[in-house]
Amino acid sequence: MSVQPQVRRLTLTDLEKRHRASEKLVMLTCCDASFAALSEAAGVELLLVGDSLGNVVQGQESTLPVSLSDICYHTAAVRRGSKTAMIVADMPFGTSQISPEETFRNAVPLMAAGAQMVKLEGGAEMAETTRFLARRGIPVCGHIGLTPQSVHQLGGFRVQGKSETDAERLLADALALEAAGAAMLVLEALPAALGETITKKLRIPTIGIGAGAQTSGQVLVIYDMLDISPGKKPRFVKNFMAGAESVQAAVATYVREVKAGTFPSAEFSY
């Protein structure tokens, strides 16, 4: 009688091993059980329950109206639909831009819903909160560069870190978050050269979205890369459905290209 290998979910230890081995990490946003199962079957390792669901699922103009209960609901659905992928949940607007203690209380229901890590937007100003959560057993993924929850302050969806001063600030933010105990860092809409510099300076993995091909891994909004969401897409979005015979084939192509380091090419970078 053959013994079936145990199916288990990716852990932080697994993530660290793959990063040390210079293996590219593959993440997609996900907010339902069906896409969770399909993405996992195609080889996606990390599923981000992102507040981008406000735009692509709820039809909102920004991510700001997304509530904590929304993210909890979708995190539970993604958890039920997947078996091996690591699940990361966004902390929506207003749930982390407060005291570390209140942020911890808001992170608890996300972990109870099935998240293994929470994602916080912001730079060095989030270091204290990151440290507070990490010391209490909640892994944290930071998010710097274009932070959609600060879109009004940033003056719209614009590439960040183009000036020398801004680039230095973003590098300082990344180092501060790592020192505070962040387990991973999303870099959004940065010049490719800056994405590479930050990645080389850190010990933790970086996940790029419009930050060049030299980050530790990549993430895209699944509705964007399947060309489902309407309207103009950011430059860093590639339509993987073009020429694909199925949704799963499109996602599998994304996985292969990220693993090979061929996505994003210069065409999809800044």
- Active centre residues (catalytic): 188
- Contacts of 13-16 spanning 24+ positions with Cβ under 8 A: 14/86, 15/46, 15/86, 15/183, 15/184, 15/205
Half-sphere exposure of 155 (CA within 13 A, CB side): 3
Helix (H, G, I), strand (E, B) or coil at 187: strand
Positive or negative: CA dihedral 50, 55, 57, 60: positive
**Sequence-ordered strand ranges (E) for the chain:** 25-29, 46-49, 86-90, 117-121, 140-145, 184-188, 206-209, 217-220
Biggest alpha carbon–alpha carbon distance for the chain = 64
Helices (H), 43-187: 53-56, 68-81, 100-113, 127-134, 151-154, 164-180
154 close to 146: Cβ distance less than 8 angstroms: yes
Q: Which of 25, 29, 5 is nearest to 14 (CA)?
A: 25
